[in-house]
Structure 1
Amino acid sequence: MTTSLSEPIDEPRLARAVQNAWQTWQTSPTRYTALCATLPSLVIDVERAVRERRGDSGAACRAADRCAADLYGLVRTVAKRVERVDLSLLAADRALRAAEAADDPLRLAAARWNLAQVLLSGGQAEGAETVALHAVRELRPEIDRDDLDALALHGSLTLVAAIAAARRGERWTAQDRVRSVEPLARRTGERNTCWTAFGPTNVKMFAVSVAVETGSAAEGLRLAEQIDHHHSRSIERRVAFLLDQAKGYEQRRERPRHAGGDRARSTRRPESPSGRAPAPQRARASRTSDSRHRSRTPGHTCRSSALIPAPGDNPSHGLGLLTGSRLTVAACPSNPDERGAKGQNMRTAGPICESV
């Protein structure tokens, strides 16, 4: 929705555009195609709004920062899915800074949740665990006020910490953390606070993830049979659940014996074609969870970066990444399977965390 530089920024309209982009990401079967066409212009508009509001009243400035925090949380997860862990880390950092500037404790907790997700993607389980647990402590005043959104974020952060513990080999700690948020999920119900998709269904899905991560495939598959994953509001979370089932079957060297396997196949159709994860990610899903315990570090760190359309390019052709004085483009074709040679400039850095 790029606006002319001569036109004033319409913040309510911009906030709606960010919300719609999130809705597209979590629900649309063509989310990759749609968002790779709109995210660059949204980033430009949000950055302009933040700059223009710097000298305004506190309320107007904080509104722009809240919009930036929401948008960069979305950029973080999209960048992760297209194998740009370095760009995902940059977006998580920007979301964190925007949430701090907005002085919004809920968005700050969500930004730390995003950062923990990136660290998990880069194989830094201990760092992810530290960030998530610190965020829970910082959220304590809101939790003590019995704010349902705060309780939902508390639950989401604890679930990330559970996965981090599982990847460090702390099976019992991971299971205890999942169990500890079950009462919170019953209180909040299916609640999509800051797009974290927390609720009873997500907690059950994470119990499966922990079981598979720690090598208890039989237990994970038993738990998975009791879950109707369609109750989750997020396509990404549903796909992650099905991938965990696939990993469980691979650990046991079995083929799906029941509707769960059919469910995985039937879910792929409405969430395709561009709704599928990029080809490198799908290939990695076939590996056993043992490989996820190996230490990896994220790709190169961007010193000075901005998400912009490449000069002369239609923004729908991809997400531009300006690193120093070099501009590269992470291609996002309509069909992610087309990447191959086109995506040679995209760096892969360790396993992807499939939470969102």
Structure 2
Amino acid sequence: MDADLTTGERIRVLRESRGMSRPVLAQLCGRGVEWLKKIESGERELTSHPLLLQLAAALQVADLSVITGTNTPAAAATAPLGRLAHPGMPDIWSAVMTRSLTAAPAGPVDPIVLQGRVDQTWRLWHTSARNRTEVGALLPGLIRDGEHAVRTLDGEQRRRAQVALSDVYRLTGQATAYVAPAELAWVVADRALSAAQAADNPAAIAAASWNLGNILRETAYPEEALRVVEEAADLIRPHLDGAPEDWRGIYGALQLHAAVTAAREGREGDAWLYWGRGDQVAKSLPQNYLHPSTVFGRANVDFHAVSVATDLKKSQKAIGLADDIDPDIMPSVERRARLWVEVARGHLQRGDRTAALHVMQMAHRIGAETVAYTPSARTVAADLWRNSPRSMRAETSRLAEAVGIATAG
């Protein structure tokens, strides 16, 4: 590859060398043809690391420097191999994409009972080390029952069913993140927001917006993600005085979402400003408060400080913040595992591969599926496997195999 080629030109050369059309590559990345055309022509700059990983996987390129050139930092240069897939996806796809437009021949669905089932499934998501598998098995039934309830109920019961259905689709978005086809991810996010708006429930709208913000951020629309969560925060803010604790909880979660989004864009001042707002919300709630789906609370605010510092490439600060955290106060297995992934990223930024391997092994023991299905975790595992010294090769290979990254050849 000519060293003078731009990133866009490299992508075009790689695509054409594989006989791949522009529409096919764009679809594999969950984006439009015009987006890829602008990237290849240099009209649009490609700065999103998740999108670089998607392009690398689609083009079967193991080293991101082949796409970006020789100036890619070593810690970010390797793309994780192995296709992200989950056996529960076909049933979830069927429930979401082939929903009936008429009432199914089933008995009535009590929206209170339905909401209770959804709440229990959220708890399972946060407490199981195999959360994608166990929650994924329950989602098709919840989706169908929620849709049936909304079609057959009316009045206040229908509004309650719409809130429950919005929760179901938010949970579906969480459980299928990074394994769902792009079209399903967008459908799920849109249905969660539409159901919440139909219920005219500010807290449900804010929660669905938090979910939509995740999709936007992970598909390289950071400005749109910030706009969505800021509008949701503006919507719910006037209702916070005297509102249930969970309304303030989702408001705080929106602030933390914005903090991470700003940090990934290198906007340090904005990132810590948003984080500070979330911190103030946590201080206004009981010390042991925990939002049922976003797990917003004191511990999660502290966890997000580590994420913000890591995304800002402030590895020393990130590791120092992590040293002051007691991770066991966070009841969410999924969130604890992701904390250690963030710490591993910080160690990798400093070039300390021994420490990065140690905490990645901890993350995998805590939440194996969280690590296996999170791109940032797979990136760390791939980097350790490819670039660690010979003395660490056996352990990094075992981690790579456990995460699902091919280690042969």
TM range (shorter): 0.7 to 0.9
Q: How far did residue 206 of structure 1 move?
A: 1.1
Q: What pairs up with 1:313-352 in 2 under 5 angstroms?
A: none
- The match for 1:315 is none
Please tell me whether residue 95 in structure 1 is matched to residue 192 in structure 2: yes
| Alpha-carbon displacement from aligned partner over 1:41-81 (angstroms, at most 9, x marks no partner) | 2211111111111xx2x111111101101101100111214
Query: Cα 1:249–1:117, aligned 2, differ >3 Å: closer, same or farther?
Result: same
| Alpha-carbon displacement from aligned partner over 1:184-212 (angstroms, at most 9, x marks no partner) | 21221343335111111111111111111
Retained in 1: the 8 A contact 2:341–2:376?
A: no
Q: State how far apart, in whole Å, the 1-side matches of 2:230 and 2:259 are.
A: 10
- The match for 1:37 is 137
Give the 3-state SS of the residue equivalent to 1:80 in structure 2: coil
Give the number of equivalent residue pairs. Answer: 287
- The match for 1:354 is none
Moved more, 149-158 or 106-115: 149-158
Q: How far did residue 239 of structure 1 move?
A: 1.8
Q: How far did residue 276 of structure 1 move?
A: 4.4
Give the 3-state SS of the residue equivalent to 1:8 in structure 2: coil
- The match for 1:221 is 319
Retained in 2: the 8 A contact 1:69–1:107?
A: yes
Q: Paired residue for 2:156, among 53, 56, 59? A: 59
- The match for 2:83 is none
- The match for 2:74 is none
Please tell me whether residue 249 in structure 1 is matched to residue 344 in structure 2: no
- The match for 1:121 is 218
Query: Cα 1:213–1:229, aligned 2, differ >3 Å: closer, same or farther?
Result: same
Q: Paired residue for 2:367, among 259, 271, 279? A: 271
Moved more, 39-48 or 230-239: 230-239
Amino acid at match of 1:138: L
Q: Paired residue for 2:248, among 119, 127, 151? A: 151
Retained in 2: the 8 A contact 1:190–1:198?
A: no
- What's the TM-score, normalizing by structure 2? 0.64
Give the 3-state SS of the residue equivalent to 1:181 in structure 2: helix
Query: Cα 1:68–1:234, aligned 2, differ >3 Å: closer, same or farther?
Result: same
Retained in 2: the 8 A contact 1:119–1:128?
A: yes
Q: State how far apart, in whole Å, the 2-side matches of 1:60 and 1:194 are.
A: 22
- The match for 1:131 is 228
Moved more, 27-36 or 84-93: 84-93
- The match for 2:21 is none
Amino acid at match of 1:265: Q
Q: Paired residue for 1:193, among 279, 291, 306? A: 291
Gaps in structure 2 of 5+ consecutive residues: 1-94, 96-103, 384-400
Please tell me whether residue 7 in structure 1 is matched to residue 107 in structure 2: yes
Q: Paired residue for 1:50, among 146, 150, 164? A: 150
- The match for 1:212 is 310
Q: State how far apart, in whole Å, the 1-side matches of 2:403 and 2:314 are.
A: 32
- The match for 1:300 is none
- The match for 1:295 is none
- The match for 1:16 is 116
Retained in 1: the 8 A contact 2:341–2:359?
A: no
Q: State how far apart, in whole Å, the 1-side matches of 2:321 and 2:354 are.
A: 14
- The match for 1:163 is 260
- What's the TM-score, normalizing by structure 1? 0.73
| Alpha-carbon displacement from aligned partner over 1:168-196 (angstroms, at most 9, x marks no partner) | 22111101221232222122134333511
Which structure is larger by alpha-carbon Rg, 1 or 2?
Answer: 2
Q: State how far apart, in whole Å, the 2-side matches of 1:80 and 1:222 are.
A: 30
Moved more, 278-287 or 173-182: 278-287
Amino acid at match of 1:50: V
Please tell me whether residue 238 in structure 1 is matched to residue 336 in structure 2: yes
Query: Cα 1:172–1:229, aligned 2, differ >3 Å: closer, same or farther?
Result: same
Relative to total residues, which structure has the larger strand share, 1 or 2?
A: 1
Q: State how far apart, in whole Å, the 1-side matches of 2:202 and 2:402 are.
A: 36
Q: Paired residue for 2:207, among 110, 114, 137? A: 110
Q: State how far apart, in whole Å, the 2-side matches of 1:105 and 1:195 are.
A: 16
Q: State how far apart, in whole Å, the 2-side matches of 1:282 and 1:267 are.
A: 9
Amino acid at match of 1:225: D
| Alpha-carbon displacement from aligned partner over 1:93-133 (angstroms, at most 9, x marks no partner) | 11111111111111111111111111111121111111111
- The match for 1:175 is 272
Query: Cα 1:190–1:255, aligned 2, differ >3 Å: closer, same or farther?
Result: farther
Amino acid at match of 2:378: A
Gaps in structure 1 of 5+ consecutive residues: 289-334, 341-356
Relative to total residues, which structure has the larger helix share, 1 or 2?
A: 2
Amino acid at match of 2:379: R
Q: How far did residue 280 of structure 1 move?
A: 5.7
Please tell me whether residue 26 in structure 1 is matched to residue 126 in structure 2: yes
Q: State how far apart, in whole Å, the 1-side matches of 2:402 and 2:373 are.
A: 5
Amino acid at match of 2:373: P
Retained in 2: the 8 A contact 1:276–1:336?
A: no
Retained in 2: the 8 A contact 1:279–1:337?
A: no
Structure with the bigger RCO (C-alpha within 8 Å, sep 6+) is 1
Give the 3-state SS of the residue equivalent to 2:353 in structure 1: coil
Query: Cα 1:86–1:218, aligned 2, differ >3 Å: closer, same or farther?
Result: farther
Please tell me whether residue 140 in structure 1 is matched to residue 240 in structure 2: no
Q: How far did residue 9 of structure 1 move?
A: 2.3
